[in-house]
Every structure is written in C-alpha cells, then in structure tokens.
Structure 1
Amino acid sequence: MMSPTATTAAFLSAAPASSSTTQRRRSRLPVVSASLSPSPSSEEPLLVRAARGEDGLPRPPAWMMRQAGRYMAAYQALAKRHPSFRERSETTDLIVDITLQPWRAFAPDGVILFSDILTPLPAIGVPFDISDSKGPVIQSPVRSEEQVRELVPIDLDMLQFVGESLKILRSEIDGKAALLGFVGAPWTIATYVVEGGMTNTYTNIKSMCHTAPNVLRGLLSHLAEAISDYIIYQVNSGAQCIQIFDSWGGQLPPHVWEQWSKPYIKQIVNKIKIKCPHVPLVLYINGNGGLLERMTDTGVDVIGLDWTVDMADGRRRLGNRISVQGNVDPAFLFSPLPVLTDEIHRVVKSAGPKGHILNLGHGVLVKTPEEAVAHFFDVTRSLRYDTLFQGYVAEELQHVA
C-alpha cells in the first residue's frame, strides 16, 4: 500500500534506486484484458457501498492506510530480497505480491495498491531518486516559469506497471473486497517538486504563494490535470475507489489551503465525476481538524478523519450527507486487545450506522503486532449495525458552514 499512502515515509526504509536502474520485470501472472469498470447497478463490495452512503449495510467495512509493508514479516522478508523501494513499487509481480500480503493474511474489505504518491512524477518530466537517509530527492526542484513549461502531459505508457498490477489484483480479489487506487493531491505533490524532497518547514513552496504565485499556479494546474488522467487510468485498470492524499495540506493555514490546495482538488474531482461517475473518491488530509468544513464542497464522497478529530464531533461538523473514514489512533494497535476492541466499538458507534469506512487515523506504525491487525479486522467482521444501533433514530445533520 502507500504507500498506501501516501506520504513518502515509506521511502525511508528503502534503499536508493534511480528510475534508470529500476528493473521493470513483466508480471508472470496473466493480465486481464476485459473492461473492469463496474456498473453502478451491479452488486458491489461493501466498502464501495459505504463510500456512497448506502442504507441497510450490515456493518462498516474496514481497511488500513499503509496496510502492506512496514510491520509484516512477509514484507520484510521480501524487502531483504528486493531492497530497492523503486523496484518493489514499479515491478508488476512485486506490486501484486505485496498488495495481496495483508489481504491474504487479514481479509480486509479494501485492498489498496502498493505504490507511492510520487510514482507518476517521471511520467510528467520530473525524475527523482531515493536516498537511504533523505528519502525522495529531486535534483532540479521546479521553481521557475521555464521549468513549469518544460513539464509534459502524463505519459501513461511509463506507468504500465500500475495498470497491469490493478488488472491482476482485480482478478485475484474476484469481488471479495474493493480494490483501491490512490494519488497525491496537487499541493502535496508540489511540496516535493518545489522543495526537492522531504521538508519540515515548507518554506520554499509557502513563499512561492507570495513571491511567484503564477509559477505555483501553473505547477498546480499541470499536476491537477496529470493526476486526473492518472486516476482515470487507475479506474480503467480496475480500481473501484480512489483515495486522494493531501498529506501536507494540513501544514497550511485554513484560508491558505482554500486558495492553494482546494481549487486543484476540486478540478480533479470535477473531471473524475464526469469521466468516472460511479467511482467514489476519498479525501484524506493529515491534521485536518481545522479544515473539515472546508473539505465538504470539494465534491468528494468520503472525508477521512485523523485520530486527533473526535469522530462524533467530526460527524456533527460534516453532516451525514457525506461519508467518513477513520479514525482509530494507530497506537491503539499496541494496546491490550480488549482495549483495541473497545476503541473500535467507540469509533463505530460515534460514526453511526451509515456511510462509515473503519480505518486508522493514519498509517500502520512500524513494529505494529500482526496479531493486533488481525484482531482489528476480526472485531470489525463481528460487528452488526442492527445490534449496535438497536432503536437508533437517525438525526439529520447539516455540516457547519
């Protein structure tokens, strides 16, 4: 998975590899050639139905951000054999194997592609490397009009490993779970492109809002168009739900996010709703407590809450016409299992019996016990809305303007 995710913290445990040296082996598994875009009227996975806010579901679906890798012994063994993150995330058979590891072990309701938000950058003319100590490194940060003009429309031929992997995964899962794709939001991708890699201060890109606004607008517009096309490609290859990670959007003051991130997310959503109206879109922002009300009119179907937002309060602020995702603190997976059980019940009860995808408030932490991950999904499968909400009368909630 990120990722899945979405942030590039996953890169920090990977050995460096440049795109020129990455070995892209074609999968040994058969590629599905038939169209995989589902019809909205067909029976669809529980997660997709919850994302749409359908009534009458038996329980909340569940998956985890950073679901694959990091904490799993099977992934760590594979990573020793293939120490380059770029190889693992750009080689079809490895992507498939890693993506399926948690599904085979825990049977989550959502299976998310093992990839990263920076994966499409070379396809728009922004090469990057990975340093074992620094994470992603972009040698020529984009900070001028000339550099923006040199960017190219996304070359999807350079991302065939993504499409092939999704087709194979859709066939392997065979309707037993939802297949999720994901992308980074323009602002978040731009932070890497402008800063040249990871940053704790975001000074270059934040200053560009005032010193070179036209350059930044050009970059964000180009990224929005490329990301839109990348989402459509993922959907056409089999993704049934897409999560947009604006991982660093929470680093902006709310009024600045309104100006420099939100319009470009809306640009993406508007295009996807025309081209792929049946596919739910999830928006996750780390540190989004100050942005919830502003996120509702992006047009997405689901808003992910991190663990710093109380689920009941989030529901009140968002209203119940939009679905929510989250938001168990990942640290609860280090607690005694009965404590984790209680927290899952608390979050589900706070979210209500409709339009909720159970997830963590952020990605699975390194060294998380696999027993706890298994327990998380076992508890979720045992839940029944008709028992948890016996006598419950839904209240019509309107999000706070």
Structure 2
Amino acid sequence: MIKPKNDLLLRAIKKEPIERTPVWLMRQAGRYMPEYRELRKTAGDFKSFYKNVELSVKASVLPYKLLGVDATIIFSDILTPLEPMGFNFEFREGEGPVFLEPIKSPEDINKLRPLNVEDVKYVGEIIKGVNEELDRAIPTIGFCGAPFTLAAYMIEGRTSRDFKKAKAFMYDNPRDFKKLLDKLADSLIDYLSFQIESGADTVQIFDSWAGHLSPDDYKEFALPPVKKIIKKLKEIHPEIPIIHFTKGVAGFLDYMITSGADVYSVDWMIDLKVVKEKAFPKSAVQGNLDPIVLYASKDVIREKIINLLGKWEKDSGHVFNLGHGLMPDMEFEKVKYLVETVKKESVR
C-alpha cells in the first residue's frame, strides 16, 4: 500500500522524530459542519448515511479539506457490524440507537451470528474511496466498538447514564456475559482485519462505556476481549498500529495499558503527565483535552492547548485529540482554531 504523504501521525505513534504534534479529532466529521448537515439531509436517516459509500467518503474527507487535520477517520458507526450479526437497531432523533430486540436472557446470546465481512463490504469501499479521494494525503483510520461497549448497548437496548440493565446482567450471568464478549471479539478481529486489508493505516478500538465499571470489573470483563483482539490483529497485521480508547480511564489506567495497544487514547479526567509516566516510551498516547473547552473563548482554548502540549514536552509519541467526540452545537471556527493552534504551538 502507498504510504500517506503526511505520515506525521504514524511517526508520532512509532515515537520517531516529528516536526510538530499531529492532530485529529474524534467525531471530526459531524453536525457542527454545515457541509456535513447538507450531506446528512441528502442521505435521510443516519443508517442510510453511513451505508452510502459516496456520501460517507464525502463526510470522511471534510475534516481534512476544511480543518487540515493530520488523519481522517472513516465515517461509520461502532454499531455497524451488529446488524448483519443478528441484532437490529434504529436511530431515533433525540434518543440515539435503539435495539429492537435487546438481549434479556443468556439464551438470547445464541442469536448472535459470526460476522461475514461481505455484509459490511461498504465499509471497505469507504476506506478505498477516502484513500482515492485524498490521494493518500494523510493516514486513514478504521475503527470498531470494543466488545464491552457493544454488549452494553445490546443488553441495555439504548444509550444510558448508568447501563444498569447491562451491568446487572453481567453480575448475574458472568459466564454468559464473557461468552458474549468473546463472540464479539472474534467478529471484531475479522472486521478490523477487513478494514486494514481495505487500506486503513491504523485502527482504533472505542470502549466508550467501560468507564462505568469498577477497576476489578474492568480487569475481569472489558479488558480480556480487547487484549484478544489486539493480540490476534498483531499476528495478522504486525505493521499496523492499534489505538485503544477508553472513556473514564482514571480508575484503571494501570490495567488499560496492558492491552498491548500501540497508542492509549485517554479522556480529560486524568493528568497527561501521569499517563506519560506510566505508558511512555513503550506506547504512544492520544487525547486528553476536555471537548467542553471548545465552548470557551479562543484565548482559553489556546491556553488549554499550550498547557497540554507542555505536559508532554518535546518528545514524540503524543497525538493531539479530544478526550471524547466533538458535539453538534460547537462552533466550526473554534474547532478550526484548535487545529491551527496545535500546529503552530507544537512546532519542535
């Protein structure tokens, strides 16, 4: 595969010399962009949007064209592989994803089918389309949801503040819950491998809801299937770096950094210096800026960026990102200002 012209992200991940800190943003293609809203209007519902290769490619490349980020993450959703695996859901305005038949008993786990990547062929076409549209200007990031996060959705039936149904199921049926996580891990290995074979330069595993767990429960339930995915992917694609993101990592960073990932992506509820001391130089680190900073003035945004860059100092190995995704009502100009400021203030 042809290497991206701007390989700053990949060099930072490898802790190689860099001229400045690379920057990309989670949920960087989103409703805060007028151009994205137009594409969404054309597509109709959200599921139709991410299944439409042409529209998804256009959405994926917007952040590079409009913001100048150093990597593009494909436009898709963490729930994408679950539908062909037997669990249907729909996106409802104001509610997010709602599963039509959530898991209610251990027997329901048997409904889960192994993923056939032919059923998500459009995801591979999106990756190929992005690489072609940008002429390999920057690296392309593929992704999946982590097994615990997907299982939490499948049992809860929707997003939640506490995922009490999912956690109660986990506590009452630990063996069956682990069986579900293991089955998900096997399919996600195939899913990420397919994305890599389609042209992804790196992949990110999103464990958005593992932060609802205690450190002991994280170690017992959420971590092992992620380790399994990473170990197997490294056997199949040893040259492809893997990013592991967990929101709410402060309580179990010591466990998270044993997953075997090349990059640990963290939220803002832990000091970047602490993460660096524990993870670097064995692994690179991504993220740490509170997204809510973008609702403040540009002076505050600049101050927070400089402070965060200062915590990492001049070493390679840090990828600038938010601790979670951009929000729909954020101001485009402030997001653009963030990217420009990181580029300017991080010059070596």
Common fold by TM > 0.5: yes
Matched, 1:181 2:142: yes
Give CA-to-partner distance per residue, 1:180-214, whole Å, 9 cap, x none.
Answer: 11110000000011112222232222122332222
Q: Within 5 A, what are the aligned runs for 1:28-39?
A: 36=1
CA distance in 2 between counterparts of 1:37 and 1:234 reads 16
Give CA-to-partner distance per residue, 1:320-363, whole Å, 9 cap, x none.
Answer: 32111112221222222232222212111212321000011111
The alignment partner of 1:244 has SS state of: strand
- Is contact 1:89–1:115 with CA below 8 Å preserved after alignment? yes
Matched, 1:191 2:144: no
Give CA-to-partner distance per residue, 1:205-261, whole Å, 9 cap, x none.
Answer: 212233222221211111000111100011011111111110000000011000001
1:269 is aligned, of 225, 230, 233, to 230
Instruction: Give the match for residue 148 of structure 1.
Output: 109
Q: Within 5 A, what are the aligned runs for 1:108-119?
A: 108-119=69-80
Give CA-to-partner distance per residue, 1:97-137, whole Å, 9 cap, x none.
Answer: 11111211011001011111001101211121222243212
Instruction: Give the match for residue 364 of structure 1.
Output: 326
CA distance in 1 between counterparts of 2:118 and 2:266 reads 34
- Is contact 1:328–1:359 with CA below 8 Å preserved after alignment? yes
CA distance in 2 between counterparts of 1:311 and 1:320 reads 14
The alignment partner of 2:321 has SS state of: strand
Instruction: Give the match for residue 18 of structure 2.
Output: 57
1:281 is aligned, of 218, 238, 242, to 242
The alignment partner of 2:249 has SS state of: coil
1:354 is aligned, of 316, 323, 326, to 316
Give CA-to-partner distance per residue, 1:140-194, whole Å, 9 cap, x none.
Answer: 2224343323322101111111110100111222232110111100000000111
The alignment partner of 1:371 has SS state of: helix
Matched, 1:375 2:298: no
CA distance in 2 between counterparts of 1:71 and 1:282 reads 25
2:169 is aligned, of 192, 208, 215, to 208
CA distance in 2 between counterparts of 1:244 and 1:314 reads 18
% identical equivalent positions: 33
When residues 365 and 43 of structure 1 are mapped into structure 2, their CA distance, relative to the original with a 3 A threshold, is closer
Instruction: Report the alpha carbon displacement of residue 91 of structure 1 after superposing the two structures with TM.
Output: 0.7
- RMSD over aligned CA atoms reads 1.8
- Is contact 1:179–1:238 with CA below 8 Å preserved after alignment? yes
Q: Which amino acid is the alignment partner of residue 340 of structure 2?
A: D
Higher-helix-fraction structure: 2
Instruction: Give the match for residue 286 of structure 2.
Output: 325
Task: Give the TM-score, by structure 2 length.
Answer: 0.95
Query: Which of 283-292 and 133-142 deviates more?
Result: 133-142
Q: Which amino acid is the alignment partner of residue 154 of structure 2?
A: V
Query: Which of 149-158 and 106-115 deviates more?
Result: 149-158
CA distance in 2 between counterparts of 1:178 and 1:300 reads 18
CA distance in 2 between counterparts of 1:138 and 1:37 reads 40
Q: Which amino acid is the alignment partner of residue 46 of structure 1?
A: L
Q: Which amino acid is the alignment partner of residue 356 of structure 1?
A: H
Instruction: Report the alpha carbon displacement of residue 384 of structure 1 after superposing the two structures with TM.
Output: 4.8
Q: Please, which runs of 5 or more residues in structure 1 have no aligned partner?
A: 1-35, 387-401
Q: Which amino acid is the alignment partner of residue 147 of structure 2?
A: P
Task: Give the TM-score, by structure 1 length.
Answer: 0.82
Q: Which amino acid is the alignment partner of residue 212 of structure 2?
A: Q
Q: Please, which runs of 5 or more residues in structure 2 have no aligned partner?
A: none
Bigger Rg, structure 1 or 2: 1
